[in-house]
Structure 1
Amino acid sequence: MLVPRHRVVVDGDACPVKAEIARTVRSCGATALLVSSHAHVLVPEPSVEVVTVDASDQSADLYIANVLTKNDILVTGDYGLAALGLARGSAVLTPRGKEIRETDIEGLLEQRHFSARQRRGGTRTKGPRPFTDEDRDRFQHKLTTLLRGLQENPDL
């Protein structure tokens, strides 16, 4: 049996596509590492390892940042963590199926900072749109494409 060279590392606390990740890694011969705080109970399953960290702010992000490699695909909606993943050479995918690239991250971080400043100033900002089945399908398709691309080009 081949040992998977690639894994999907998941910021698991608020990830809505955990089931899709598990199915996809099994079908592609990869593995997943779900990282979450004690407040979220995740269950390990075949090809899916679960790591639970303490509930303090940023514990999951720090754990993930310390274990990421260039062979990983990071799944997160947190742009700060996405920037760390890109710096480690990991591919980064949001739960809605958007791949974040080096060319995107600066603008995304600026937008996050701008929105946070508005909220601190009392301005109400819109939250994310509702998560849809189309988002779920897009994510699974993109994750499958990334994993298959890594299998075909193992030196990436």
Structure 2
Amino acid sequence: MRILVDADACPVKEEVYKVAFRREVPVTLVANSHLRVPPHPLIHRETVTNVLDAADDRIAELAGPDCVVVTADILLADRCLKAGAAVLAPTGKPFTAASIGSAIAVRAIMVDLRAGGDQIGGAAPFSKEDRSRFLQALDGALVKLARV
């Protein structure tokens, strides 16, 4: 069992470490740039090239039924779900086989609107409630994986 993190813009790395240390689950953080991680045997950092989607490709390669993947990237979430991984957004919202199709569709609509020059609002600011929800969701996903 392990946690994979799409780490470049992940706002919940500290929460991932907290849960990983408590549950003694290894963590791999994948990023396009060097990032600081705690010096701990459970924490592993992989820095990939700046080639487009290199981090996503590496995470998708590592993902499997024994993993919880943390990402806000909907297309990466889809790839990881297809590999059998559990996938959580940094807000704690799980991506599932039942929800990923509509998430991809909404993403495509938003891309089209932006490409057409429409000014649309972005995501809501990240909150304390999001952090709390993420902690609960990650812990719950690891408990579920441990039962399998």
TM-score by length of 1: 0.91
Name 2:58's counterpart in structure 1.
63
Select 2:36's aligned residue among 31, 37, 42.
Answer: 42
127, 132, 135: which one aligns with 2:127 = 132
Match of 1:88 among 83, 88, 91: 83
How many residues are treated as equivalent by the alignment?
Answer: 147
- Aligned-residue identity in percent: 34
Residue type matched to 2:54 in 1? S
Return the offset for 1:69: 1.3
Q: Unaligned regions of 5+ residues in structure 1, if any?
A: 1-5
Tell me by how many angstroms 1:56 deviates. Answer: 2.0
After TM superposition, list the pairs within 5 Å mapping 1:1-156 onto structure 2. 6-38=1-33, 40-46=34-40, 47-151=42-146, 153-154=147-148
Helix, strand or coil: the match of 1:137?
Answer: helix
Contact 1:28 1:148 in 2 (8 A): no
1:3 maps to none
1:44 deviation in Å?
Answer: 4.6
d(CA) in 2 for partners of 1:45 and 1:107? 39
CA displacement 1:98-138 (0-9 Å, x = unmatched): 01100000000000000000000010111110001110011
State the 1:29 CA deviation: 1.8
Partner-residue secondary structure (3-state), 2:19: helix
Contact kept? 1:85, 1:92, Cα under 8 Å: yes
Aligned AA (1:79): I
User: Normalising by structure 2, what TM-score?
Assistant: 0.95
Name the amino acid aligned to 2:39: E
Q: Distance in 2 between matches of 1:41 and 1:92?
A: 22
Report the Cα distance in structure 2 between the residues aligned to 1:94 and 1:71, rounded to whole angstroms.
17
User: 2: CA distance between counterparts of 1:32 and 1:111?
Assistant: 30
Q: Structure 1 residue 83: deviation in Å?
A: 0.3
Which of structure 1's runs of 4+ aligned residues deviate more than 3 A? Answer: none
Distance in 2 separating the partners of 1:68 and 1:44: 22
